[in-house]
A and B are shown apart, each in its own frame.
With several copies, the nearest count.
Chain A
Amino acid sequence: MNVTVLLFASYADALGRPEIELALPAGATVRDAVRHIGALPGADRVPPTPLVAVNQRYASLEQPLAQGDELALIPPVAGG
């Protein structure tokens, strides 16, 4: 299945892009996707267990992913 990973702020800077398409086996979880991202060049500046959102809602690393999901890695927020 295909999942879109969105990167923002310092994480987008670290990986040099705002978005990555991942092909994952059926049954993969958020944690599996995050491990894939962690193997990319520049990922040493992204924590191994970042805050994440799936389809615009905060999610657990154990959440199973589905075809077409939008997974976002959320750097420490600084709004206000």
Chain B
Amino acid sequence: MRAAIVETPLDGANLLREVSAPANGAAILFIGTVRDVNDGRAVTGIDYSAYSAMARRELESIVQEASSRFDTTHVVVEHRLGTLDIGEASVAIAVAHSRRAAAFDAARFVIEEIKRRVPIWKREHYSDGAREWVDPTRATGRGVVETSPADAGDEPTNSDDREPRAARTPGA
């Protein structure tokens, strides 16, 4: 069981070796990579940055939750920061388990929780030279939906299944 924030290329095969054990019948490796198109725009690269200390803490807590929820200690995750080219891996998750269904579910849980709550941000570089921070809470495509600040409640929960609320942009 291990979680790390790194600034060097990820090696998925190494993570798979790390989780392998004779009692495991199934292993999953999930790799997230930089796509050449996002939301219809040609992307040439991405800068990943983080609130590193908190990101490491949240990653560790996700791995621990996955371990207890899916009953395996064979879970490792690495998230990379820095400037990545198209096709490079930004995140690698390896899970091994005696049962394949649990291996799939645990890997899926880890990536969904990373996207939901780990304080990491990305700035895309576009082929026209522009660079923009990606905001997954904004609707994509031409019809950008702006919500009013009045929609935003005041009470982000901090329970165990807290969900970072979308930070609304004021009506532009």
User: Could you tell me which A residues sit within 8 Å of B by CB distance?
Assistant: 6, 8-10, 13, 31, 44-45, 47-53, 56-63, 72, 74-80
Contacts and interface: CB of A to CB of B under 8 A. Distances in A.
Contacts of B8: none
Nearest to A9: B121
Given A9-B121, A47-B170, A51-B167, A78 B134 contact: yes
Interface residues of B, number: 45
B9 interface: no
A75 B120 contact: no
Contacts of B32: 80
B135 interface: yes
A62 to B, nearest CB: 7
B149 A56 contact: no
B158 interface: yes
A44 B55 CA distance: 26
Nearest to B61: A57
A51 B54 contact: no
Contacts of A59: 156, 158
Given A49-B153, A53-B54, A80-B115, A75 B167 contact: yes
Given A53-B54, A60-B157, A75 B135 contact: yes
B49 A8 contact: yes
Nearest to A51: B164
Nearest to A50: B167
A79 B111 CA distance: 9
B31 to A, nearest CB: 11
Contacts of A49: 149, 152-154, 167-168
Contacts of A44: 170
Given A58-B117, A77-B116, A13 B133 contact: yes
